[in-house]
Chains A and B, each alone.
Chain A
Amino acid sequence: MNKLALIIKKNFLILVKSRWLSLVVVLGPLLIIFLTGIAFDNLNEYKINIGVYSDSYTELTNSFISKLNTEQFRTIKAKSEAKCIDDAKIGFSHTCVIFPANLSLGSKNKNVAIYIDYSKLNLAWIVRDRLFSRVEEKSAEITKELTENILSKLLLTKNEILTDIVLLGLAGDNEDEISGKNNEAFLLITSINTTIGLNASDIDKLESKISSVKAAFDITIDKATGNVEFSEDIVNSGGFSESDKDDYLDELDEQKDDIEGQRQYVESLFSPAYSGSINNTLGNIKLRVIRLNLNANITDALIASSKANLYNISLMLSLNGKLINKMAFSMDNVKKNLESIDKLSAEDIASPVIADIKPLTSYNSYLNYIFPTLMAMAIMFASLLLSAIVVVMEFSTPAYFRNAISPTGNVLFFSASYLTNLSLIGLQIFIMLLISMMFFFSQVIGNILTILAVCFLTASFFIVLGMGIGYLFKKEQMSILAATFASSIFLFLSNVLTPIENMPEFFMRIAQFSPFIISVSLLRKSILFGQSLISINAEILYLVVFTLSLLAVYAAVYYRNLRR
């Protein structure tokens, strides 16, 4: 058997013969996984006590409290705000919710204060998330109620509008009729002829014409008398028998008499009395004509005004018609909009989008989700502690001196320690993988090479680091402390206790390169998501580089000390 194998055999024999060490170091992490597995092998929430307080409880406050009082939460009414907060501080309750006094819809003070003990780390986040979701659920319920109320009002409004649209139609029809009548009236008024065709000057002209007629008559009478007298002269001087003469003269006399009679008649017509009467009549007529003309003018003005009014009415009716049309259009739009709202339920409006959180992988236990992290933790703790202890055991054993003076190089002892640790951690990994097959049989079997490679690299890094701790501190207590301290740092700078995203950016950037975080990530990807070595090669490379860097540092320190 070669030397390396014999040293490894010796290491195993010592570890196996140290029963307590075997139990603590080898079985300890497995025990942790087992216990954690039992603890987390369900999907139940935590039983969380919520302290509540309000100066004055209202129906809304009580509805909130009853909403919180679910399977996951148990509400405890505190006697005062300070007591509620103190209870959360001492751990009697996990959180404290202070409702404002007289909380009601529309009240000014609607701030609900939630006091969370963030020192409880992950529990605080769970409480916060669950509590907020409960409060949000209740808020959504209230929003839904309010929305339902608004929707019923909108429905009523829609019905009113439907009636109004019909009435608007009627109003439009009436308006058309009025407009027609208005046009008729306009035409009617327009058709009114107020022309008198007679004015005072016409009467004056009549008078003058009457005078002219009399004058012309007088002239005519004079002419006719002259003509008759001329004719008598002619008859008298002409060769007419007397008889004829007489006849003619008689005739002429008669004519003369007629003319005279006419003249007299006309003269009688133009007698001052008669003429005065005519003149009076004409004057009256003239006055009446003037008055008529005045009235006609007034009527014209009134007609013009009425026409203007009718025109304005027509314009206004036209405008009104347009307005009615527009209103009808608007009403129609409102109706359509209301109809579109009417198609939505209150829930659609109150919660237009529902965020449904779905797991990337679907398992029936928290253990499935935390198993890769647990496995990484177990590998880290076991590797760091075991390798530090194995190295320190070698240092503290009485046989160390004999090893040191033997012709066997330190590199061989280092390699033997590494392989011993790797074998033991390998055994743990094997058992953990067997356990994991209960949850991820197909994933583990289907991706076994990648998972083994990830486990090997993770274990190698932490074994080499743990050995370094052992070589550095040399004393068992100090090494265990240092290994535990190192593990704690890796744990704190990881997502296990708090999300690294909560850290200051500088630390977050550093933490991203934490070998533990990389290991957890690699195990999650390989076990939960079945990713191949190629797809996770960058992170694999990180672990390889970290491990080789550690070895390089050790080699540098070793050869420097050797030269000294």
Chain B
Amino acid sequence: MPTPDQATRVVQEPPASSLPPADAPRRLSRTAWVLLGLSALVLASVALFLTWGVDGHWDFALPRRLEQVAALAVVGTAIAVSTVVFQTLTHNRILTPSIMGFDALYALFATVLVFVLGSAAVETMNPWVMFSSTTVLLLVGATALYRWMLGDGSRGLYTLVLMGVIAGTLFGSVQGFLVRIMDPNEFDSLLDQLLPSFGDLDTSVLALAAALMVTGVVLAFRLAPTLDVLTLGRERAVTLGVDYRRTVTRLLMLVALLVAVATALVGPVTFLGLLVANLAYQVTRTHRHVVTMVAASLIAVVALVLGQALLQHVLHFNATLGSIINLVGGVYFILLILREARA
């Protein structure tokens, strides 16, 4: 039997190498194949997106499109990782962070901004100021909300989620009230912000968002083994040495950061996380978060890039990416609920 001291040294390695090397060859090769296949899909969809209908204007089209791909990757990864983490914390595969009142908080913030400053001021605001203030507000708001909800840690996670739903409804009602007494022209401009859009991105903001996203995702991967243990449930995690309350608080803040980044960048994209997380569980069939988080991120990037390509070249911008995601995601959500009800 090993002594504890020998075994406590944890070596940080890149995610892929932490898969079990020898004990499950069939499963390992399956996981490897799935991740390889998804990576190939990412490359193919990005290549398609970059080259579709360029017509020789390469020096104009390529930088602009690369920028869009980067934005889609940042948003996709942030949404995918945050949803997987959130679903592990709640032990529920049809919940997304937006149920904790996230989207509603964002909508409220955007509405208050337009209501107080007027649409003209908001539209001409420095994108850095806009992005940072939105991210910070969402992060602070969500963290304060969680601190208060978590209390002394004796409330269960379901109570927490319920309080999130109530908070979301409250934010939604206040926002609805503001919209009702708002000037119709102002509301028109507000609508642009409330609907997710990948069209008008600012590169400087994108770099900041990418940095925040990478920070959050690295933290999530460092906590992946702990997330694996959390799938066993609170009690077993505690008996295996997870400091439950501290860990959950940390992970919820991580989720808050990632969702804040994605939402501040493009607006609320609720269903994407649900869609990609569940597809990832289906294709990987493993409880290991290192694998599911990578797979979900890859699927998210594919979905967003293909969706955007479709939007530009087939629908000719006659819809938004958000509405496509919500259409596909909504149908999938209903299928999920039907399947859960039957099982």
Say whether A and B bind each other: no
Which residue numbers of A lie inside 8 Å of B, CB to CB?
A: none
Which residue numbers of B lie inside 8 Å of A, CB to CB?
A: none
